[in-house]
Chains A and B, each alone.
Chain A
Amino acid sequence: MKISLGKWLLPLYSLLALIFLMVPIVYTFVFSFNDSLKSNITWRGFTFDKWLNVCQVQNGAVCEAFGNSILIGVVATVVATTLGTMIAIALVRYRFRFRAETSLLLFLPMATPEVVLGAGLAAQFLSLGVPKDMSTIILAHTMFCISFVVVTVKARVAGLDPALEEAGRDLYGSAAQVFARITFPLLLPGILAAALLSFALSFDDFIITNFNSGAVTTFPKYIYVSAARGIPAEANVIASAVFIFALVIVVTAQVSRAAKEKRLAKQG
């Protein structure tokens, strides 16, 4: 009896731990179906209304904030992924001076608390007299995403077999052709992963946004501002929809990777 208990203790604990992690997610999801009035705290009955009329509440304030977050996330992701991928290639492939300083400059933003990053940028915009709007949020988000892109893509560049590119050059491919036909496609999974990570970081960021957004409302900022007077169930609808969407992407990626590995294993 003692042995079997010891054997099952760890799986049981892991199961309970994962259930614990799911609690707020389930709560948010369930309360997106609450037939609530202004605030969404007590359960008043089941309804699909909030899902069907997400943009009706408060003249569409929730949806506007959501749209802003998407726009900011997309622009910041595109810029950060481009800049970060270039740095990652340079770091792995080339020798240059100030390598240590460059690495430190890339590491520091990840080790700096968000509140310091946010206050720093806000202090700079203030002293330069730059008004805070959508563009200052995008500038801020791009900044903190670059380092994460570099780290993610760097691993992929380092894992690239140089022989493949050499083969391309041996077959008289120009530098541009080798990059477009060999290097880039091989790096693509890493670049996509970095882009997804950037978008997720940007989309859920509140602290840095709060310091640099002025009157612009993003989805997290909308929740923060509404927290005092009650958050409509429509916010839960959007969060739940985003959750399901992200889950589908991750599960698809995992399944396709597993399938690919199986195929490769079969080919031997």
Chain B
Amino acid sequence: MAFAAFSTSTSAPEPAPRRKSPIALLLLLPGILYLVLFFLAPLVSLLLTSFQAPSEFGDVGQYSYAFRWENYVDVVAAYWPHIMRSFGYALIATVLALVFSYPLAYFIGVKARPWPLLQSLMLVLVIAPFFISFLLRTLAWKQLLSDESFVITSLKALSVLGPDAHFTGTPFAVIFGLTYNFIPFMTLPLYTTLERLDLRYLEAGSDLYARPFDVFRKITIPLSMPGIVAGTLLTFIPAAGDYINASRDFLGGPDTQMIGNVIEANFLVLQNYPAAAALSIILMSVILVMVSVYVKRSGTEELL
């Protein structure tokens, strides 16, 4: 429910004049210390672990501190397809979620303005999937998309699908799951910017003889850019690191494993901590670089 992070930050009114006081330190210190201990220190720990070498005794799961940078070469060589798949799937899911959400958010935020009750009701329905377990809703799709389900069998009976069509375990199913699960993260920030969209700009556009499509492309889209940026980030980041949808017990198969799956397997099953740590560092670095470039290029730095 990270939407709050992005949707509220832009709507704050003028702040009160700021004072300097020792109270500030007292207020900040406990929370900041907590984040240093349980967020920053673990990242350092992860970085150190990623350079560890197997211990001399050769026991499984025993490593000693070293500067074995070859760990990175090894994991990239071994898991190149998983790394590419993660970013590819996440990118497709983000685009699909944007295409799905924009008209919906536009309707709730612009067209439904005369009916505030309808707006609230629709917003509740958009976030409703959050209220039911992430894992159970993914499993529900697995059942609904399985070969024996009434959805698939009736589509096959109607010849909409070929007799050999198969969904679960395919990249299609994983991307479908990623898209579905992160749609609310896309719709909500889009809604918050579209809800504040000043319709007079659109009227001005059509008064100046712009065609509806040009009004949309040259006025609506640029004005809703903060929502688009926030929504795509909130969808892309968790989607790239997700391993539920791609897991074999959920929507994935052996050929759909993403970077999250191999981090989990290396850390919790194989006890190959350096490999898991190196993959995590790679995932985080790529995301941070992509995010900062994206935010710079779209000119919405104030979001952060």
Q: How far is B21's CA from A220's CA once the two chains are assembled, in angstroms?
A: 44
Closest to B9 in A: A151
Q: How far is B276's CA from A156's CA once the two chains are assembled, in angstroms?
A: 40
Q: Does A172 contact B (CB under 8 A)?
A: no
Chain A residues positioned under 8 Å from B19 (CB to CB): 93-95
Q: Does B240 contact A (CB under 8 A)?
A: yes
Q: In the bound complex, do residue B28 and residue A102 qualify as a contact, i.e. CB atoms below 8 Å apart? A: yes
| A-contacting 9-mer, from B76-84, B116-124, B156-164, B218-226 | B116-124
Interface size of B by Cβ–Cβ distance < 8 Å? Answer: 100
Per the 8 Å Cβ criterion, residues 10-30 of A in contact with B are: 10-11, 13-14, 17-18, 21-25, 27-28
Q: Which of the four size classes fits the interface of chain A? A: 35 or more
Q: Does B5 contact A (CB under 8 A)?
A: yes
Q: Does A160 contact B (CB under 8 A)?
A: yes
Q: In the bound complex, do residue B267 and residue A24 qualify as a contact, i.e. CB atoms below 8 Å apart? A: no
| A-contacting 9-mer, from B67-75, B136-144, B165-173, B198-206 | B136-144
Q: In the bound complex, do residue B24 and residue A94 qualify as a contact, i.e. CB atoms below 8 Å apart? A: yes
Q: How far is B183's CA from A147's CA once the two chains are assembled, in angstroms?
A: 22
Q: In the bound complex, do residue B136 and residue A87 qualify as a contact, i.e. CB atoms below 8 Å apart? A: no
Q: In the bound complex, do residue B100 and residue A17 qualify as a contact, i.e. CB atoms below 8 Å apart? A: yes
With both chains docked as a complex, state the minimum distance between the C-beta of A243 and any C-beta of chain B, in angstroms.
Answer: 5
Closest to A175 in B: B23
Q: How far is B303's CA from A151's CA once the two chains are assembled, in angstroms?
A: 12
Chain A residues positioned under 8 Å from B241 (CB to CB): 113-116, 207
Q: How far is B144's CA from A129's CA once the two chains are assembled, in angstroms?
A: 44
Q: Does B20 contact A (CB under 8 A)?
A: yes
Chain A residues positioned under 8 Å from B128 (CB to CB): 21-22, 25, 243, 247
Q: How far is B36's CA from A109's CA once the two chains are assembled, in angstroms?
A: 11
Q: Does B103 contact A (CB under 8 A)?
A: yes
Between-chain CB contacts (< 8 Å), 27 pairs: A18-B125, A23-B141, A24-B137, A25-B128, A27-B140, A28-B133, A86-B31, A90-B23, A96-B25, A105-B32, A105-B35, A108-B39, A113-B287, A123-B277, A147-B5, A148-B5, A150-B31, A158-B12, A158-B13, A204-B133, A207-B242, A207-B244, A223-B135, A223-B139, A224-B135, A227-B135, A227-B139
Other than the known A86-B28, A87-B28, A159-B13, what 16 A-B pairs have Cβ atoms closer than 8 Å?
Answer: A24-B129, A24-B138, A25-B129, A90-B27, A95-B18, A95-B19, A102-B32, A113-B237, A116-B283, A158-B15, A162-B16, A162-B17, A204-B133, A227-B135, A258-B116, A258-B120
A residues at B contact (CB < 8 Å): 10-11, 13-14, 17-18, 21-25, 27-28, 31, 41-42, 83-84, 86-87, 89-90, 92-96, 102, 105-117, 119-124, 126-127, 139-140, 142-143, 146-148, 150-152, 154-155, 158-160, 162, 197, 200-201, 204, 206-207, 210-211, 219-220, 223-224, 227-228, 231, 235-236, 239-240, 242-243, 246-247, 250-251, 254, 258
B residues at A contact (CB < 8 Å): 1-2, 4-5, 8-9, 11-13, 15-21, 23-25, 27-28, 30-32, 34-36, 38-43, 45-46, 48-49, 100, 103-104, 106-108, 111, 116-117, 120, 122, 124-141, 143-144, 148, 180, 183-184, 233, 237-238, 240-244, 247, 249-250, 259-260, 263-264, 267-268, 273, 276-277, 280-281, 283-284, 287-288, 291, 304
